[in-house]
């Protein structure tokens, strides 16, 4: 194990007696089991869970909190799975009134906002368009790198990679390799949702299954492309489903070490078929659940270096508190977020760097600006 496993102690002792042996394990730097992680989700002793996550995080990252000046680009909302992913409000049919597909010139024009800004990363994800070939994306990555050589490109989920492989009739590994040759630096962690077959058949039937999603990430890691991993929570899944999902991520990380960050994604029900079907049951996650997802992720995924709060989904206020619940990454400036906002997010579509730095400082932490690969761009001692 490459990360520090011991040192420091818990700031809060568990009141829930069931958590005492788990807390002892965390203090001793031992890995916790599936059943123990489920107990962490099921307890009401939130502060004890947060304290354990905080200890694990402080051993790994001290008081440093990372952020990145990034810009999201969503090239198309046309998606062949628009009827399949009932939790999603972004993907639409090609003939839908609000369907859009950006030309490469439009992508470059949107990216040009980065020319006079401190942007370090383009984060590119979108729908599964039935006609766009792999060359659309390789040309996009190449064109962006030519125009913005100092900006890194993190692009395409495992689901998009598998879709392009099907369209082109080639292996997923070859899709990643071609994107890498065009300049791809990293891959995002979307599309994982929840790996449980039962949950998947309810919220995303026929979407890439767990083994396929994991295989695409395994291939990216083998090619030297770091990736993120995610969990979509707050819909029909159980605590056991969440933990089984994280167990598969932990196992792959033991094998490859290629995940940079774990990002729990809070489901937003507005404008989704699942939200309509669930009625009053389909409400947004609360702050307690958001903090638990982050904290349990930090404790359980002891081999993933970073845990990121997606402030777009859980608000900047919860994200700021999360910095004391095991989180060491506050996402980025984002700029022009579209996907979660179609599902009713009422957070801003972007934050400026000063605001992010202030949120981190006000939480008593040290802001560290990073690039896509977690190289330090700027921190107080270096600025
Ligand atoms: Fe398409 Fe992704 Fe939405 Fe599914 S989640 S409908 S793949 S955009």
- Banded pLDDT at 376 (limits 50, 70, 90): very high
* Long-range pairs for 288-291: beta carbons < 8 A, 24 or more residues apart: 288/46, 289/233, 289/234, 290/264, 290/266, 290/314, 290/318, 290/322, 291/46, 291/50, 291/318, 291/321, 291/322, 291/325
- Does the C-beta of 330 come closer than 6 Å to ligand 1? no
Cβ 271 vs Cβ 343: under 8 Å: yes
- Does the C-beta of 208 come closer than 6 Å to ligand 1? no
What is the CA(26)–ligand 1 centre distance, in A?
Answer: 37
* Alpha-carbon gap, residue 141 to 153, rounded angstroms: 7
For residue 122, what are its two tokens?
């383009």
**Ligand 1: which residue has its CA nearest to atom 4?**
85
Cβ 342 vs Cβ 357: under 8 Å: no
Cβ 339 vs Cβ 369: under 8 Å: no
Q: What is the pLDDT of residues 146-177, one digit of tens each?
A: 999 999 999 999 999 999 999 999 999 999 99
Share of the chain above pLDDT 70, in %: 92
β-partners of residue 367 are 65
Q: Which atom of ligand 1 is nearest to the CA of 79?
A: 1
What is the CA(375)–ligand 1 centre distance, in A?
Answer: 31
Domain 63-378 has CATH 3.20.20.70: yes
Q: What is the pLDDT of residues 77-130, one digit of tens each?
A: 999 999 889 989 899 999 999 999 999 999 999 998 767 678 899 999 999 999
Cβ 107 vs Cβ 156: under 8 Å: no
β-partners of residue 332 are 68
- Does the C-beta of 87 come closer than 6 Å to ligand 1? no
| Among 217, 192, 191, 189, residue whose Cα is nearest residue 123 | 189
Cβ 313 vs Cβ 269: under 8 Å: no
- Does the C-beta of 52 come closer than 6 Å to ligand 1? no
- Does the C-beta of 272 come closer than 6 Å to ligand 1? no
What is the CA(268)–ligand 1 centre distance, in A?
Answer: 14
What is the CA(45)–ligand 1 centre distance, in A?
Answer: 35
Q: What is the pLDDT of residues 233-274, one digit of tens each?
A: 999 999 999 999 999 999 999 999 999 999 999 998 888 888
The pTM for the full model equals 0.93
For residue 120, what are its two tokens?
């370090």
What is the CA(146)–ligand 1 centre distance, in A?
Answer: 29
What is the CA(283)–ligand 1 centre distance, in A?
Answer: 20
Residue 372 has pLDDT above 50, yes or no: yes
* Alpha-carbon gap, residue 87 to 232, rounded angstroms: 10
Task: Annotate 315-337 with DSSP letters as a single string.
Answer: HHHHHHHHTTTT--EEEE---S-
């Amino acid at each position: 194990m490459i990360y520090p496993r011991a040192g420091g102690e818990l700031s809060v002792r568990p009141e829930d007696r069931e958590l005492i042996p788990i807390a002892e394990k965390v203090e001793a730097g031992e890995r916790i089991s599936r059943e123990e992680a489920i107990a962490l989700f099921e307890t009401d002793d939130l502060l004890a869970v947060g304290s354990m996550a905080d200890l694990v995080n402080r051993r790994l990252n001290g008081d440093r909190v990372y952020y990145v000046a990034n810009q999201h680009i969503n090239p198309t909302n046309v998606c062949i799975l628009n009827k399949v992913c009932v939790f999603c409000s972004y993907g639409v049919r090609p003939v839908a009134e609000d369907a859009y597909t950006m030309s490469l010139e439009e992508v470059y024009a949107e990216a040009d906002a980065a020319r006079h800004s401190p942007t370090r990363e383009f984060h590119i994800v979108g729908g599964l368009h039935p006609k766009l070939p792999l060359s659309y994306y390789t040309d996009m990555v190449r064109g962006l790198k030519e125009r913005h050589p100092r900006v890194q490109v993190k692009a395409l989920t495992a689901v998009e990679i598998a879709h392009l492989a099907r369209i082109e009739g080639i292996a997923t590994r070859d899709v990643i390799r071609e994107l890498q040759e065009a300049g791809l630096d990293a891959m995002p962690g979307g599309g994982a949702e929840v790996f449980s077959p039962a949950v998947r058949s309810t919220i995303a039937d026929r979407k890439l299954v767990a083994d396929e999603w994991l295989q695409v990430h395994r291939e990216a890691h083998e090619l030297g492309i770091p990736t993120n991993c995610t969990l979509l929570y707050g819909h029909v899944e159980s605590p056991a489903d969440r933990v089984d999902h994280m167990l598969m991520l932990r196992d792959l990380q033991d094998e490859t070490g290629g995940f940079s960050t774990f990002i729990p994604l809070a489901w937003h029900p507005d404008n989704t078929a699942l939200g309509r079907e669930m009625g009053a049951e389909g409400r947004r996650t609360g702050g307690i659940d958001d903090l638990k997802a982050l904290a349990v992720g930090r404790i359980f995924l002891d081999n993933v270096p970073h845990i990121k709060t997606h402030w777009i989904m859980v608000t900047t206020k919860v994200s700021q508190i999360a910095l004391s619940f095991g989180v060491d990454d506050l996402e980025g400036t984002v700029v022009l977020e579209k996907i979660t906002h179609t599902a009713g997010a009422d957070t801003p579509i972007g934050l400026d760097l000063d605001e992010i730095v202030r949120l981190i400082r006000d939480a008593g932490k040290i802001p560290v600006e990073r690039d896509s690969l977690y190289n330090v761009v700027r921190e107080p001692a270096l600025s």
